[in-house]
Each structure stands twice: as C-alpha cells, then as structure tokens.
C-alpha cells in the first residue's frame, strides 16, 4: 500500500482557511484525497471559495463543507488523535492581503516580507495548537516558509518540509523567458535560497546561461518586460516599471538581474491589492499530491534542513527518491546562500528569540 493509499483512508489535515488553505483543500479533495480543513470559524466556511485571505485561519464566506472537505474548528486539532499520523499542511497565516494593500497604498515597490513575517509568526504563536500536529510530517506553506519550518521544528519533533520553492522556480523561469528571452532550461536549472526571503537560481549549472544573461542590457530587459504580460498580472507595465526602479544604480551581476526581474514580476502579480492565488494553489496541490504518492521527483523543489548551515536551518533544494540535496552551486551562488542564511538567522533571533 502506498503512502497516498494509506492516507486516503485517514485524511490530510489542512490548517488555515485563508485563500491558499481553502484553494488547496478543494484541489486535494478533487484529486480523491480526503481532507480535514481546520479554521476558527467552521460554520462560516465555503471550501470552494478562494476569493479572500484572513487572519489566523478565519473564513467568513458562507456555506460549509462539501467537495470532500471536512471542515472542523481549529480548536479540535489538539484533540484529534485519531489522525495523528496523517500529514499536516500548515497554511495558517496573517492577513497578507490587508498587509500588502496597506504597503502598496504607500507606494512601495514590492511585497512587505518583513511585515508578513512578523504578523504570521505572531498569529501562529497565538492561535496554533502545536500539540495537535501529531506525529506525522508537517508540510509548511505559511510564509515566511523557512522561518515557520524552524518554529515548528523547535516545538514539535516531527519531520518538517517547506513548500514554496516550486513556485519560486516557476517565477525564475518566467523571468528568464519574459525579461531575457531565454526558454526554460529544464531540469538542469536548480533553485535554493529561501522562499520567505530570496530564492537563488543555480544559474552556473546551466551551460552558457550566465554568459547569455550577462550580455543583456537593462533597457532591453525593461523593454521585454513592458511588452509582455504574465498570466497572473492585473496591470500592464508594472513589471517593467518596478524592474527599472530596482536596477537604477548601474551595473548588476547576472544573479542580481534575474532576482530583480523576479521581484518585478511578483510586484506586478500583487498589483490590485491582493496576493495571487491561482499560481501557488496549483503548484502546491500538485506538489502535495506527488509527495503523498511517494513520487517527490514529480515536484521536487522543497525547503528542508541543512545542518551544514546551522541547526534546523531550512533552505531550498530538491527532494528525490534518494533524499534531499542542494543543487550544484558556484562559489558566487554559495556566497549568496550564505548571505541569506545570515539574514535568516537575524530574523530568527528577532521574531522567534527564545520561542520553544
């Protein structure tokens, strides 16, 4: 019996009924996986409605249940020992939509990651019954993914994986295609870093890619971004404008140009004062289903602990049938990863401190 067959007999527990949690629960149920969705307001939940996001798993959509999703009160998680070995998909978070709207109204160029991190950690420490996570694996979707992975790993002795790097890789591929005219390099392009901070593409592992990016001029990239529009954008020209703003101070290395293009495309997706839902829900549903089916190679990008970077330090890499591994990185890419790890440590000290 495969892992998926066994868990179909129990349930996958999705904790948090914001836009991502609701959408993910509905998508998993549609694929035949039984889902328990935990929310503070189960009586006011509509699992097929992914139009909004709300604090600490609040859902205020009207209707309840349906679609193979068993909606339960968040408080019931701690006492639900019957499903203790089933995986938990943690989507409980702060009201990201409201935070993003407030920051965009002030004219900032991109999503306020620090504000989202602080609010999400506060919501988890306040509302999540950690003792209800059981003994099965915890799959973290809540941003900042790697920080939340570390918080869970500190408090519950269970396997923890972060999901988000697959979406990062998709954004990097989109940035290469739209900003640089470079098609998807395929499996040779790995990604590491941190979904909650910065994803680092392993550009040096793709033959000729670094040289091709280095030949591009900023005006040419701006022109391409302005002439194209991604499937998740709501404002034409926003990506080009943000990219121009981010690279206004002269020459940039290839990794910085790609990173700026990713940030610009992300800012364009968030235009309209709400986080995009379709991209992460589709990726997460495919990834969770592949993982449960015992075929991680179908959606391998995850964040997992790498002891060489410090205790419980989660970073992006690939999970295959042989285990988790970082992509092959150049010296420059390892230096970038080290910088992100140092910034992550500072954020851990500030937001988690002595939280256990």
Question: pLDDT tens digits for 59-112?
Answer: 333 333 444 788 999 888 877 756 667 889 999 876 665 666 666 666 655 556
DSSP 81: G
- Summarised one tens digit per residue, pLDDT across range 204-226 is 999 999 999 999 999 999 999 99
Q: Is residue 220 part of a domain?
A: no
User: Is residue 232 in a domain?
Assistant: no
Judge whether 15 lies within some domain.
yes
- Ranges of H-type helices in 41-95: none
**Reported pTM:** 0.84
pLDDT of residue 100: 61
C-beta neighbour count of 298 within 10 angstroms: 11
What's the structural domain count of the chain?
1
Token pair of 136, please?
């099965």
Domain residue limits at 44: 3-163
Number of other CB atoms surrounding residue 282 within 10 Å: 16
> Going by C-beta distance under 8 Å and a sequence separation of 6 or more, which residues neighbour residue 112?
99, 100, 103
Q: Residue 81: which CATH number?
A: 3.40.50.720
Average pLDDT, the chain: 81
Residue 200 lies in a domain: no
Identify whether 121 is part of a domain: yes
Q: Say if 129 falls within a structural domain.
A: yes
């Amino acid at each position: 019996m495969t892992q998926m067959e066994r868990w179909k007999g129990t349930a996958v527990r999705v904790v948090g009924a914001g836009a991502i949690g609701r959408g993910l629960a509905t998508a998993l149920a549609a694929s035949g996986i039984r889902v328990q969705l935990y929310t503070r307001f189960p009586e006011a939940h509509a699992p097929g409605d992914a139009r909004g996001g709300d604090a600490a798993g609040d859902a205020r959509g009207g209707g309840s249940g349906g679609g193979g999703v068993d909606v339960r009160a968040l408080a019931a998680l701690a006492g639900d020992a019957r499903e203790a070995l089933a995986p938990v998909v943690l989507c409980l978070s702060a009201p990201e939509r409201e935070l993003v709207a407030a920051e965009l109204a002030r004219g900032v160029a991109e999503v306020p990651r620090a504000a989202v991190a602080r609010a999400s950690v506060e919501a988890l420490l306040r509302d999540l019954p950690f003792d209800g996570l059981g003994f099965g694996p915890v799959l973290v979707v809540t941003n900042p993914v790697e920080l939340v992975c570390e918080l869970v790993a500190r408090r519950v002795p269970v396997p923890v994986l972060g999901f988000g790097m697959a979406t990062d890789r998709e954004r990097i591929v989109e940035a290469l295609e739209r900003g640089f005219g470079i098609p998807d390099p395929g499996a040779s392009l790995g990604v590491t870093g941190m979904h909650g901070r910065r994803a680092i593409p392993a550009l040096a592992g793709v033959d000729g890619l670094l040289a091709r990016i280095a030949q591009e001029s900023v005006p040419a990239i701006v022109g391409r971004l302005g002439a194209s529009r991604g499937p998740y954008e709501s404002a034409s020209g926003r990506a080009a404008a943000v990219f121009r703003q981010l690279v206004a101070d002269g020459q940039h290395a290839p990794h910085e140009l790609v990173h700026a293009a990713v940030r610009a495309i992300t800012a364009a997706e968030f235009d309209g004062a709400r986080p995009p839902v379709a991209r992460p829900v589709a990726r997460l549903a495919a990834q969770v289903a592949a993982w449960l089916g015992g075929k991680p190679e179908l959606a391998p990008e995850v964040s997992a602990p790498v002891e060489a970077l410090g205790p419980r330090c989660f970073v992006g890499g690939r999970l295959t049938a042989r285990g988790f591994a970082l992509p092959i990185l150049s010296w420059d890419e390892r230096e970038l990863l080290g910088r992100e790890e140092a910034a992550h440590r500072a954020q851990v000290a500030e937001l988690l401190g002595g939280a256990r």
